[in-house]
Amino acid sequence: MENILTAEGIEVFKIQPLKRNLPYGKDTEPGKAGETYSRYTYRGIVFTANDNSDFAKFRENNSLQMVDFRKGERIVKDKEGNEVVVPALEIVAVLTKDQVMSSFGFDLEKKRLTAKVLDIQMTDAELADLLKN
């Protein structure tokens, strides 16, 4: 069984960048030459994401709603050059706010239009809760 960690809703704001726009090295996997990646941290664990990935795009435009990580370990060298095992995260799935809202069976824009027609003053969260029932 896989060890999955999920960050969703307000938890995605706890994903913080450490270093951005780092170039892939010459010994990286094929097809990555010339591309960049960024390092992030979540719950004290560092992970990387390609700057062209859905994760990076969704996070940049503030539409990231959920991230599934696979928890694991990797080996790094400490300051003295000793190999140390540290926790690792790998992104396995991401969803936007609109994707999550559409899973409730309605379109976000239709919801807003319905609220305008009915002259209802509610937040998106209140409308989503109302339409679930």
Cβ–Cβ under 8 Å, residues 65 and 12: yes
Give the tens place of pLDDT for each residue, 91-125. 999 999 888 777 665 555 565 555 555 555 566 67
Give the tens place of pLDDT for each residue, 76-94. 999 999 999 999 999 999 9
Q: Locate tokens 């700057």: which residue? A: 51
Give the tens place of pLDDT for each residue, 21-47. 999 887 777 778 789 999 999 999 999
Phi, psi of 62 (to 5 degrees): 60, 30
Phi, psi of 30 (to 5 degrees): -55, 145
Residues 6+ apart with CB under 8 A from 55: 49, 64, 67, 91, 94
